[in-house]
Amino acid sequence: MASEIVVEKNVMVQMRDGVLLATDIYRPADAGPLPAIVQRMPYDKEGVALRNFAFEVMRAVQAGYVCVVQDTRGRYLSEGEFNPFFDEGRDGFDTVAWVAQQPWCDGNVGMAGGSYFGATQWRAASESPEALKAMVPFVTAADYHEGWTYQGGAFELGFNLHWTLIFLATGELAREIAKGNADPGEFGALIAAINDNDALFERLPLTDLPLLKRLAPYYLDWLDHPSYDDYWKAIAPKESHSKITIPTLNIGGWYDLFLGGTIANFVALKDKGAQLLIGPWAHGATTGWFNDRSYGFLANYAALDPTAIHVRWFDRYLKGIDNGVDAAAPVRLFVMGIDQWRDEQDWPLPDTHFTPFYLRAGGALSTELPGGEDSSSYDYDPADPVPTCGGPTFLPGLFIAANAGPRDQRAIDGRADVLTFQTEPLTKDTEVTGPIELVLYASSSARDTDFTGKLVDVHPDGRAEHLTDGILRARYRNSMSAPEMLTPGEVYELHIDLWATANVFRAGHRIRLDISSSNFPRFDRNTNTGNTVATDTADALVVATNRVYHDAGHPSHVILPLIERQL
């Protein structure tokens, strides 16, 4: 263990275009060349990277690593202009190459960190730097269109506006003030906007954000690219999976807003040594304790000692220590309901029974096919959307999980624009672990609308615990790249990705499915006009009558991954 640590601050590392990036180096004072672990972030290297919920720099140094922490381009003390994701591939490659050439590095480099730190890892890996030997991406995505900025074609308003205001715009304004390019008084306007975040969620059109137009113009770029076009393809990690051969430890949460991408990254690379770890966590809330539910002390990410997990991974792949990491079960999951950790050999689990549960008349959910049954309908009014209640949210109050995770859905029960289907009380414990898909046969009076699905665990006392959900903007029913409007009244087969869960529905509980057309402000409201949603004004809103069919010719159903084992 290192008794003395050398810290080099603000070493300016030159990128290929001449831009200099501010970089801090932490290394043992009395050791020869060592492997290095790189973290790159837009959140100010002066504090956030040293000790956070994922990885502790000083402990890693004491374990025999050099830790390199860098402000990304255009952030804090680094030069250049910040444009999220676009420069991280080249800059990550150049940084890894520079680190590998330093006298204190033995040529083996790893990368670590969560969220946007994870994005810098995947973007660097897509450039295949020779010295990069392993990564630990934590709660991060596989695509910056689907599962970061949009989901199912709907804009992730709650996350993107909150993140941009609090974490990106503030840093940009501080930097501009330090350079003498902005009036310190502007901070007042920005803080007022942050304090009134909820009002900004309501504002239409979505593009009416002059403060962000100056401080974070890329936010408007995101709104200007609602489809998966070349803008997004150029930066999507999933487009470069074939180039990545290094082992990756992918860590995520059942209520994390990047869960879908975490799983997708593992599945694409599991034949290249990837591993997967998922706990009952939300983004920025990894204790396993939520307002409406606690999963116990062992569910706390800190209880797993995340730094030790990182060090073991890097000991194996940067130092070559045969510590059994590569022989471990490739998947480790926390199974809710029984609140236990479990090792598995693959994802989806090899013994999964994908079982359709059909929507039936009278609000029933059953494994029996429907017969001649009437359809169900509701009016979706974008002026009165269904409020977000739990799930993988990133809204004001996230650090106390105020609106994240397994919220009790009784808070929004009884709305006329929510269809509810549920089983009879279960006669035995029933495990649902794996990916979940909702297949709806539906029509709308509008040229475009949204459909949402939510899987819920209903307890005998009536508590309705949110498990997972999804959304589909109907114009993207066939392709995220080529939108197609609906013909009003025509019935379409829609496939909605509800991502995944791991939950045991206990005997006496019910499996419930809620269907609607909004989840606001987590997602923007579909205006139902067929126009570009981001530019529609409040006076353009259209009420849509949406109909869900559940008869023999239109058997709407949710496909649940049942695990039939002795519990």
Which residues belong to the active site?
115, 256, 283
Beta strand pairing call for 352-360 and 557-563: antiparallel
Structure tokens at 301: 């990410």
Write out 164-202 in H/E/C secondary structure. Answer: HHHHHHHHHHHHHHHCCCCCCCHHHHHHHHHHCHHHHHH
Question: By three-state DSSP, how is residue 270 classified?
Answer: helix
The count of C-alpha atoms lying within 13 angstroms of the C-alpha of 46, restricted to the half-sphere facing its C-beta, is: 7
Residue 158's SS3 state is helix
Cβ neighbours for 25, distance < 8 A, ≥ 6 positions apart: 6, 7, 8, 11, 66, 67, 68, 69, 104
Query: How many whole angstroms separate alpha carbon 193 and alpha carbon 165?
Result: 8
**Do you know the residue count of the chain?**
567
Handedness of CA 528, 532, 534, 539 (dihedral sign): negative
Q: Are strands 132-138 and 105-114 parallel, antiparallel or unpaired?
A: parallel
384 is written with which tokens? Answer: 């009165």
Beta bridge partners of 109: 36, 132
CB 405 within 8 A of CB 487: no
Residue indicated by tokens 């990128």: 15
H or E element in which residue 333 lies: strand 331-335
Structure tokens at 460: 């005998």
* Separation CA 567–CA 563 (nearest Å): 10
